[in-house]
A and B are shown apart, each in its own frame.
Chain A
Amino acid sequence: MPNYNEGLEKYNQKIASVTSQEMVINVGPQHPSTHGVLRLELITDGEVVKDIIPHLGYLHRCFDKHAESMNYTKTIPFTDRLDYLASMNNSHAFVMGVERMLGIDKAIPKRIEYIRVLVCELNRIASHLIAIGTYGIDIGAFTPFMWCFRDREHIMNMLEWASGSRMLYNYIWIGGLFYDLPVGFEDRCKEFVEYFKPKLVELDDLLSNNQIFISRTANIGALPADVAINYGCSGPMLRASGIKWDLRRVDAYSVYPEIDFEIPVGKGEMGVLGDCWDRYKVRVDEVKESVKIIEQCLDRLTKDFQRTPDFDPRALVPKKVNLKSQEYYIRAENPKGELGFHFVTQERTDIPRRVKARGPSFNNLSVLPELGRGQLIADLIAILGSIDIVLGEVDR
């Protein structure tokens, strides 16, 4: 019989055999640069990190267990709490999976799909603004953080207007939406876009091309493309390593095929390809692309798919989700990378047998020991910040 505690014994052995020259340091679980409750156990020699052992689970809220004890509709609020900075994107992915299993994904009205893409992209900007702002703070720049939060607040207010909640929306429903957009939303959104565009130029001047920032991030933590793929990194992490892989284009879900946007990739402008600066820059460029997507959505929503008095965003919402016994894996591009849901459904009940969420941060974080080995502790913080993790999704 195999020894099921072998891994634990090996780990204990490793910590016990630290030499007197080395030191074990805990970063977190209550450390601001871990962006939540992540604990890193570092084995250091002076200021050089020799090994990193991440400990997860401080924010484990049993998403999988909850999802398999209630029906699909009730699970949507739980998906909001996975990556709580991009709730719209989470529920969009989940809802798309259920809709495809039901076979109603082609019947969803275009107006609903455009609204979904619009709110998802707004949420993507909000999520990236946090990533950019807190990354500045991680390495000692305070002003960008305040500026990013100021702009994000406009998005939060708009989404609150649409859904009634600031961060956890429960707005995208299976087969439709909670409500249509409020009257005047499109105009306010246009105003926001006009306000926001010059702010992005300011941000470039303030942070992207700031010499201190470049010195702290360029050539640090370079992630080669093959390592990134092998560790399952996705989203800006993978694209910063030079791979053009965006599920919005690869899977062409929702109305993304009708929308014109670029996929920014890392170019190694300031140093090595795939370094911290590249990861940061890919996010800044993605915000610019998202602004383009929002403009196109607003254009279509005000011209081709205008609101009509008899438009009911809940017309296709099923009373009960009746599925035959099957399996389905849905993946979608979240701000942090590939969010996947693996459904195993059961016959004659609307409660799934198994729902597994594949969080992008969970996989992106697993590459940290590889990136951080041999770096200085200060650089480790820069690397961790550039991965942009959300613990709600790592621990689920």
Chain B
Amino acid sequence: MIEQAKKRIIDQFGEEAAIAVEEGLQPILVVNPDYLKDICFLLRDTEGFYFDFLSNISGVDYYPESRFSVVYHLASIPYQTQLILKVNIENERALDQLPEVPSVADIWRTADWHEREAFDLVGIYFSGHPDLRRILLPDDWEGYPLRKDYEDPEAYHGIAIK
């Protein structure tokens, strides 16, 4: 499945769209973030793939490397298959310069809340998201707790939290 998907993506968008296949227990297709939305539309709407169900999105921090990745777990209900997409972003982890990935919330509405969660906890900015606010933490929270270099604040609104 993953080789077919890679071939179809390369046929459609060229060599640079699908970067690599990470082998393993579950192979992962690493794609170019610039083509992410086109690839997602293609995988959702093309016969033979029909990945209409987005199970999960997770943001991963590869500290101490200056790299983040966003992993998309897709499933196809008509064909009962699964596919994993991944985008890697280089970022120097400054709080005013978040890693940026295009939002897929207009392709699968599941992505809406999952992207908000990744923004909230890992600090990944999804450009084009309709409503990118923090979801689990309070709106005025500072920092992104699931980053490996995150340090807990001493207090929140005068409440000691350490």
Does A188 make an interface contact (CB < 8 A)? Answer: no
Residues of B within 8 A of A (CB): 22, 24-26, 28, 52-56, 58, 60-62, 71, 73, 77, 80, 82, 84, 96-98, 100, 108-110, 112-113, 121, 125, 127, 129, 131-139, 145-146
Specify which chain A residues have a CB less than 8 angstroms from the CB of B113 in the assembled complex.
362-363, 366
Knowing A7-B129, A64-B146, the reply to whether A232 touches B54 (Cβ < 8 A) is: yes
Specify which chain A residues have a CB less than 8 angstroms from the CB of B25 in the assembled complex.
100-101, 326, 328
Minimum CB–CB distance from A67 to chain B (whole Å) comes to 10
Residue among A243, A354, A356, A370 with the most chain B CB within 10 A?
Answer: A356
Knowing A232-B109, A354-B60, the reply to whether A329 touches B132 (Cβ < 8 A) is: no
Minimum CB–CB distance from B90 to chain A (whole Å) comes to 17
Assess the B135–A57 pair: CB atoms within 8 A: yes
The 6 A-B pairs with the shortest beta carbon distances in the complex, nearest first, are A232-B110, A356-B58, A7-B132, A7-B133, A57-B136, A358-B56
Known: A7-B129, A11-B131, A327-B24. 20 other contacts (CB 8 A): A2-B100, A7-B132, A7-B133, A10-B131, A56-B136, A57-B137, A64-B121, A64-B146, A229-B52, A229-B53, A230-B110, A231-B109, A231-B110, A232-B108, A327-B28, A340-B73, A342-B71, A354-B60, A363-B113, A370-B109
Say whether chain A's binding surface is mostly helix, strand, loop, or mixed: mixed
Assess the A342–B58 pair: CB atoms within 8 A: yes
The total of Cβ contacts below 8 Å across the A-B interface reads 102
How far, in whole Å, are A354 and B61 apart by their CA atoms in the complex? Answer: 8
24 A-B residue pairings within 8 Å (CB atoms): A1-B96, A2-B127, A57-B136, A57-B137, A57-B138, A62-B145, A100-B25, A229-B52, A231-B109, A231-B110, A250-B80, A327-B22, A329-B55, A329-B84, A340-B56, A342-B56, A344-B60, A354-B60, A356-B58, A358-B56, A363-B113, A366-B109, A366-B110, A367-B109
Interface residues of A in 45-81 (CB under 8 A from B): 56-57, 60, 62, 64-65, 68
Specify which chain B residues have a CB less than 8 angstroms from the CB of A11 in the assembled complex.
131, 133
Assess the A338–B55 pair: CB atoms within 8 A: yes
Residues of A within 8 A of B (CB): 1-2, 4, 6-8, 10-11, 56-57, 60, 62, 64-65, 68, 100-101, 229-232, 243, 245, 250, 326-329, 331, 338, 340, 342, 344, 353-354, 356, 358, 362-363, 366-367, 370, 395-396
